[in-house]
Structure 1
Amino acid sequence: MSSLELQSGFVSVAEHDALLEVTLDRPDKLNALSAEMYRDLSRAVDHVRDRDDLNALLLDANGRAFTAGNDIGDFLNADPEARRSGELSPAMQLVHRLLTLDKPVIAAVHGNATGIGTTLLLHCDLVIAADSARFYTAFINLGLVPEAGSSLILPDLLGRQNANRLLLAGDTLDADEALRMGLVAYRCGDDELRDKALELGGKLAAKPPQAMQYTKQLTRHGADAVREQINKESVLFSERMFSDETRAIFETFLNKK
């Protein structure tokens, strides 16, 4: 049986029979995601894949928000040479792992789900939103472009106009709108969220695992196109991330903080 060694100090895990709960635990920073947190999340996905006695993964968060998205300080300190070489960011390495995981992934969202906090949900199988959940991609206001395949998936999932509300207008969707549009599957009260998520996760983990694996493979349409789109997005995202325009926006954002 493989062991799971986490290194960031901001991601915790708990096993509930055949369900692995993975919790973002950086509440003082609204669970802003650092490179090492992404690596921990990737380690958790690999752990679920490798363990025959784990059949499902639940992603949730402590504190007031699901996540504030990428840690802007990480963006400012990123190595441009690594990005120019075509190396995928730790965030996109996580997304690629989720794309190939044949076990169900549930996300439980409360508070703000900003940037990749929203686009990561596109690679989960079922999302439960608390009443407080708010979905905001943030990229356009930071001078960035979409990532995680969202420029392909969101128009297909929500329709072009609703996708452009997120990607061009920079609108924020509340839990009602997200449910109506199909961005999330369920909605509940904030005080019910974890219990509902654990109940759903346990239900999925108890189903026949081979049938679950085949079903995910059958419903995973266009995975190759999504991977190709992620690679296209990553090139433009890196170009924008190191542009003078976007660096100035980052500096202003951090100075306000």
Structure 2
Amino acid sequence: MASDEIRVERADGVTTITMARAAKKNAITTAMYAAMAEAFRDADSDPGVGAVVLSGEGGVFTAGNDLRDFLDNPPRGPDAPVRRFLDAVAFCRKPVVASVPGLAVGVGATILLHCDLVYASPKARFLTPFVGLGLVPEAASTLLLPRLVGHARAARLLMLGEGIDADTALAWGLASAVVPEDELERASRAAASRLAALPREALLETKRLMRPDPDELAAAMQREFDAFAERLDSAEAKAAFAAFLAR
């Protein structure tokens, strides 16, 4: 499924996927999820591509789901576009580099757990407000985030919904580097180009060995997806969504 709000470019062995809906802070619609899932699958299967960059334009990574579109098209099954996108990134064999110029909310933060390198500008801010919306986290973040930052810090993010800035993300290991805003795109693409130029099979095998067990990862994502789908029908979530949309 094509989307005018997803831009896909390929150069020098790198596929760059850009969320291009700056007027809406790159809030992700069903069509955008579908387009990104397809772009990731294409890059993963293309022998000429050695790395993928995921970015957002307009000084924002993404504000997360477009809630109106999300409520009109709730993810109910394994073929839901958001599920296909999460699977495509989580199980991508090629290295993935995230370029985070600003706000990264919800799925915009949890998807970074599946990226191999995360470059952030000093303006970046990471926020996971799932519980406040009556929902649960996704993208296997309940498995991966405590492992990365420890249970206490993960609880601050996933349970309290506290946001963190770029320097904190770097200190906690969620970001690989903090780069001046005017150098962010160049630094992210340079890293991806370096990855793409390395011996391909050795690189892919190294990523495979570094990543969680695929079965464990898939099981965590399924548990979260089942709980998320159940929460969508809850009175808590409906009230939270109504309050958010009434703002």
User: 1:3 is matched with which residue?
Assistant: none
Q: For 2:162 and 2:182, how far apart are their aligned partners in 1?
A: 26
Amino acid at match of 2:6: V
| 1:127 maps to 2:122 | no
User: 2:88 is matched with which residue?
Assistant: 97
Paired residues of 1:76 and 1:247 also in contact (CA < 8 A): no
- Deviation (angstroms), 1:180: 0.3
Amino acid at match of 1:72: L
Q: For 2:143 and 2:41, how far apart are their aligned partners in 1?
A: 25
Instruction: Summarize deviations over 1:76-133 as a string: whole Å, max 9, x none.
Output: 2135xx72xx435322222212232221100000211000000000111110011000
Q: For 2:47 and 2:59, how far apart are their aligned partners in 1?
A: 34
User: 1:57 is matched with which residue?
Assistant: 52
| Structure 1: gaps spanning 5 or more residues | 1-5
- Deviation (angstroms), 1:9: 1.0
User: 1:27 is matched with which residue?
Assistant: 22
Instruction: State the secondary structure of the residue aligned to 1:145.
Output: coil
User: 2:107 is matched with which residue?
Assistant: 116
RMSD: 1.3
- Deviation (angstroms), 1:39: 0.8
| 1:107 maps to 2:98 | yes
Paired residues of 2:30 and 2:70 also in contact (CA < 8 A): no
Normalised by the length of structure 1, the TM-score is 0.92
User: 1:187 is matched with which residue?
Assistant: 178
User: 2:195 is matched with which residue?
Assistant: 204
Instruction: Summarize deviations over 1:141-191 as a string: whole Å, max 9, x none.
Output: 111101110001110010001100101111001001000000011111111
User: 1:169 is matched with which residue?
Assistant: 160
Normalised by the length of structure 2, the TM-score is 0.96
Q: For 1:89 and 1:119, how far apart are their aligned partners in 2?
A: 18
User: 1:230 is matched with which residue?
Assistant: 221
| Structure 2: gaps spanning 5 or more residues | none
Instruction: Summarize deviations over 1:23-47 as a string: whole Å, max 9, x none.
Output: 0000011000111111111111111
Instruction: State the secondary structure of the residue aligned to 1:44.
Output: helix
Q: For 1:242 and 1:28, how far apart are their aligned partners in 2?
A: 30
Percent of paired sites with the same residue: 39
Paired residues of 1:22 and 1:58 also in contact (CA < 8 A): yes
| Deviates further, 247-256 or 58-67 | 247-256
Q: For 1:110 and 1:242, how far apart are their aligned partners in 2?
A: 34
- Deviation (angstroms), 1:247: 1.5
Paired residues of 1:58 and 1:198 also in contact (CA < 8 A): yes
